[in-house]
Amino acid sequence: MRAKHLMIFIFFFAGACRANSQAPSSAVVSEGSSAPAQAPESSSTAPAPQVPDATEVRTKGGAVPLRTGVQAFSSVAIAIKLGVAGPGIDVATPIASKMNLRVGASFFSYNPNFNVDGISIVGDIELRSITEAFDWFPFGNALRISPGVTFYNGNHINAVAVVAGGQGFSLNDVSYVSDAANPVTGSFDMSFGHQLAPSLTIGFGNMIPRKGGHWAFPFEVGAEYIGVTPRIALNLVGSACTVTPLGSNCQAIASTPQLMINVAGEQASINADIPKQLRFFPILSTGVSYRFGRSHDR
């Protein structure tokens, strides 16, 4: 019996060892491991999904262009305006989705007559300017901010000064009478700062409508920095008379030092009354514009 039991044990042990040695290796790998088995690689690579081009959107009908900006100089608009500097004209063209380039000119003349301390001024006021600005629309609507520059500031006053013979006037708070035989005459000139001046305005109205349409009604307000306060130059000739109980004494202005001093004092007095704030020459205008060419979506 003992020998029989021994033979059964040996046979069972040998069978267990044989079964263990023939177990598949995948069972050993999977035991104690959660890593999924990898699928066998395909001999051919699957094509990557097609990504629509950034300049297109897909619809049922096919590809439709997607506008992401505007083409520079693709259209032009012309505006007629009226403002502080007189009537003028602006020309604008787009250079970016939210920016236009605008060039303008203003021109106006008139002849006012006024009186300064008894001196009659017959004026010739000429307003001439050429400007360039970049109209920036930060919020994508009609509100704009426009930095720019005045390339030509030709605003000035040329006037003739006249005091009729026998008429009283004053120079530097000193009273005189214009000599009837040699009346006082001269010039009254005024300049408006530097010819080149930076500017900044804010406004409403896009001369190049991005959503179609041709008409716009631009408005702007701001200032240009002309650098210095406007100044006048007063030049007088002729003879001025002082009247006393003993009679009148007439002297030529050009050859009398005291009279020349009083002319300079009168000039300084007039300049002192000019506000220093006029170093910032005001810009205020409104008008109507028409766009030529195709429109753009914002």
Tell me, yes or no, whether 99 and 134 share the same domain: yes
Same domain? For 184 and 292 the reply is no
Cβ distance 80 to 86 under 8 Å?
no
Q: Which residues of 229-264 are buried (b: 16+ CB within 10 A; e: fewer)?
A: bbebebebebbbbeeeeeeeebeebeeeeebeebbe
Determine what percent of the chain falls in helix, strand and coil, rounding each to the nearest 5.
Answer: 15, 50, 35
> Per residue in 143-176, is it b (16+ CB within 10 Å) or e — as a string?
ebbbebebeebebebebebbbeeebebebbeeeb
Q: Which residues pair with 163 in a beta bridge?
A: 184
Per-residue pLDDT, 296: 53
Indicate if 201 and 91 belong to the same structural domain: yes
Same-domain pairing of 74 and 202: yes
Q: Which of 90, 71, 72, 86 is nearest to 218 (CA)?
A: 90
Q: Are residues 283 and 199 in the same domain?
A: yes
Contact (Cβ atoms closer than 8 angstroms) between residue 251 and residue 237: no
In the prediction, which pLDDT does 245 show? 77
In the predicted model, residues of the chain with pLDDT beneath 50 are 1-46, 48, 51-68, 297-298
Interatomic CA distance for residues 75 and 208, integer angstroms? 8
Confidence (pLDDT) at 181: 95
The pTM of this model reads: 0.70
Let me know if residue 122 belongs to a domain.
no
213 and 133 within one domain: yes
Phi/psi at 85 (nearest 5 deg)?
-85, 10
pLDDT for position 213: 87
48 lies in some domain: no
Q: How far apart, in whole angstroms, are the C-alpha atoms of residue 199 and residue 147?
A: 6
Query: How many domains does the chain divide into?
Result: 2
Question: Which domain does 95 fall in, by range?
Answer: 70-109+127-154+195-227+277-298
Task: List the CATH number of the domain containing 134.
Answer: 2.40.160.170
Indicate if 102 and 180 belong to the same structural domain: no
Identify whether the C-beta of residue 153 lies closer than 8 Å to the C-beta of residue 85.
no
- The predicted structure's pLDDT at residue 44: 43
Q: Does residue 35 lie in a domain region?
A: no
Where does the chain have alpha helices with state H?
A: 2-21, 25-30, 257-272
The residue type found at 146 is S
pLDDT computed for residue 69 by the predictor: 58
Structure tokens at 129: 């300017």
Q: What angle do CA 208, 209, 210 make, to 5 degrees?
A: 110
Let me know whether 212 and 100 are in one domain: yes
How many Cα neighbours within 13 Å face the side chain of 268?
Answer: 8
The per-residue pLDDT for 83 is: 95
Q: What is the pLDDT of residue 294?
A: 64
> What is d(CA 186, CA 163) in angstroms, rounded to the nearest whole number?
9
Bridge pairing between strands 76-83 and 247-252: unpaired
Q: Are residues 235 and 298 in the same domain?
A: no
